[in-house]
Structure formats: structure tokens, C-alpha cells
Amino acid sequence: MPARFDVGRPATPEEVSAWNIDVNAAGEGLPTGRGDAAAGAVVYATRCSSCHGARGEGGVPPNPRLVGRESRDFSFATAPAAVKTVGNYWPYATTLFDYIRRAMPQTAPGTLTADETYAVIAWILAENDVIPREQVMDATSLPAVRMPSRDRFVPDDRRGGAGFR
């Protein structure tokens, strides 16, 4: 095997920057921008509802339900058929931004702007009665959102990794 294959090239700083978009549970990495549930309803209807249903009720698998607070007893470990939603299972609102920006919409991931992403998150959180419908989501308000199931998760305290960036 050769020492080098001489295939490819080093990534440019711009390319590295474009991929380095993670947002952690504390909200580090959130971009500037803002959105509310009213704007999010429009984005959701045009970009998300065909998979997740008009009200976030879920679509044909694997398109999960997003809205619902059932299973408040958090019995997912003993009741695997229990439906997990943002309202009853997601521990940190900030990681919604990371996931939606990277993976949604499923047919064109990474195409939502920061404002559209904040707006969709505001709509999802308002539909789950986590925030008031008029609350604006941005890099300051999103980390302050306390998710209903946040305290039901065990923090990862393993040592030896980089942890938060």
C-alpha cells in the first residue's frame, strides 16, 4: 500500500466552517437569527407537514409525531410502544436547532435558514405547550427553555472525551 494515495485536497477553512455547525445542550454554537410560532407555522406547513402531519401528529413511518405530552410518567423504558414526542421526551430545546438544521426537511436537509429553524422550533414548542405562542426563539431565549422531560435523563459524566466544545 502506498504511503499516500494523493487523492483529494485539504479542506479549506470555509469548508471546515460550513460543516462545524454543531449546537450543544448548553446552546453553544447557536447562530444569530430569530423566529416565532406564527412564522414557524408557515414554514412548518410548507416544509414539514407533508411528513409530520398538519399539526405534528406524525406521518407514515419513519416520520415521527412531534406534538403530544402523553406518557407524562416517562414509561418509555418499560413501554416501548409509548410514543416519544418533542413535548414528552426531548431533553434540551437547543438540540432541536442542531437536529433540524442538519437533517430537515428530509428531502432537502440543511436548506432552512437560521430564522426558519428558530421559527419552526418556536412552533413545535408552542404546539407542545412548552412556550407561549408569542415567545420569540433566538440564541438567548432558546437555551433558557426548560423542557418537560429534562430532569428525567441522566447526564453523561464519562471522562476522557472532549465534552462540550
Q: What is the pLDDT of residues 84-99, one digit of tens each?
A: 899 988 999 999 999 9
Collapse the DSSP code of 120 into the 3-class scheme (helix H, G, I; strand E, B; otherwise coil) and give the result.
helix
* pLDDT at 119 > cutoff 90: yes
Torsion of CA 137, 140, 146, 150, to 10 degrees: 110
Give residue 156's pLDDT band: very low, low, confident or very high (50, 70, 90). confident
**Residue 137, φ and ψ in degrees, nearest 5:** -100, 135
* pTM of the predicted structure, to 2 decimals: 0.86
* Cell 437555551 sits on residue: 143
Closest-CA residue to 130 (of 98, 91, 83, 101) = 91
62 has pLDDT over 80? yes
